[in-house]
Structure 1
Amino acid sequence: MTLMVRDEADIIAPMIDHHLSQGVDLIIATDNGSVDGTAEILEGYAAEGRVVLLHDPVHRKQQGVVVTQMARDAASKYGADWVLNADADEFWLPRLPGRTLHDVFSEIDPGIRSFLVNVIDMTGPPALVGTGLQRLVYQDLRTVEEMNAVGLHAHSTPNAVHVGDPNVSVVQGNHLVSIGSQGAPPPELEIEVLHFPWRSWDQFSRKVDNSGRAYLNSSGLKPSPNHHGMRDFHRLQDGTLYASYLFRHPTPEELTAGLATGSFALERRIADAIVSPVADVAVDAEQSTHERAFGKVISGLEFQIRNLNSGLSDKTELTIELSDRISVLTEEIASLTRQLAESAAASAHIQELYDALHNRKVVRAVDQVAEAISKHRPRR
Structure 2
Amino acid sequence: MHILTYYWRQLKPPENPRLVMTILCRNEVDVIEANIRVHALLGVDAFVVMDNGSTDGTREKLGALQGEFDLTIIDQPSQTYQQAKWMLQLAHVARLEKGAHWVISNDADEFWIPQQGDNLKMHLRLDDSVVTVPRSNMILTNEALKEGYRFFHANHRVQYPICYERDAQKRDPNISMLLVPISPKVIVNPNGLIKISGGNHRAKHWDNWRTARTTEAIRVYHYPIRSYEQFEANIRHRQQLLKNTNARMGDHYRRWVGLYEQGRLREEFERIVISAAHLNVLSRYKVVVEDTLPRQWFEKIRELQ
TM range, smaller chain: 0.7 to 0.9
In the alignment, does 2:269 pair up with 1:245?
Answer: yes
Q: Which residue of 2 aligns with 1:232?
A: 256
SS of the residue corresponding to residue 297 of structure 2 reads coil
Q: Does 1:162 align with 2:188?
A: yes
Instruction: Give me the whole-angstrom Cα distance separating, in 1, the residues matched to 2:300 and 2:31.
Output: 8
Match of 2:224 among 178, 189, 197: 197
The answer to whether 1:133 aligns with 2:157 is no
- Partner of 1:133, secondary structure, is helix
Counterparts of 1:1-380 in structure 2 under 5 Å? Answer: 1-95=21-115, 97-105=116-124, 108=125, 110-126=126-142, 127=145, 130-134=149-153, 136-141=154-159, 142-145=161-164, 150-152=175-177, 154-165=180-191, 168-179=194-205, 180=208, 182-184=211-213, 190-216=217-243, 218=244, 220-223=245-248, 227-274=251-298
Q: Distance in 1 between matches of 2:117 and 2:297?
A: 13
- 1:207 & 1:166 partners in 2: Cα distance? 34
Query: Which deviations, in whole Å up to 9, do the C-alpha atoms of 1:135-191 show, x marking residues without a partner?
Result: x2111233214995515383321112111227532221111222135342566xx21
* Structure with higher RCO (Cα < 8 A, 6+ apart): 2
SS in structure 1 opposite 2:62?
helix
Contact 1:131 1:276 in 2 (8 A): no
User: 1:307 is matched with which residue?
Assistant: none
Q: Which structure 2 residue ranges, 5 or more long, are not aligned?
A: 1-20
- Show CA shifts across 1:309-328 (max 9, x none): xxxxxxxxxxxxxxxxxxxx
Contact 1:33 1:58 in 2 (8 A): yes
* The structure with more helix, counted as a fraction of residues: 1
Q: Distance in 1 between matches of 2:299 and 2:61?
A: 16
Unaligned runs of 5+ in 1: 278-380
Task: Give the whole-Å Cα distance in 1 for the aligned partners of 2:197 and 2:152.
Answer: 29
Query: What does residue 295 of structure 1 align with?
Result: none
Partners of 1:15 and 1:90 within 8 A in 2:
yes
Report the CA distance shift for 1:82/1:268 in structure 2 as closer, same or farther (over 3 A). same
Report Cα offsets for 1:79-117 as digits up to 9, x if no partner.
Answer: 21111000000000112x333213222xx2x33410211
SS of alignment partner, residue 61 of structure 1: coil
Comparing 33-42 and 47-56, the one that deviates more:
47-56
TM-score normalised by structure 2 residue count:
0.80
Larger Rg: 1
Q: Secondary structure at the match of 2:296?
A: coil
Q: In 2, Cα distance between the equivalents of 1:276 and 1:4?
A: 25
Contact map agreement 2:131 2:215 (CA 8 A) in 1? no
SS at match of 1:169: strand
- Paired residue secondary structure (1:178): strand
Report deviation, 1:64: 1.3
Question: Counterpart in 2 of 1:333?
Answer: none
**Counterpart position of 1:328:** none
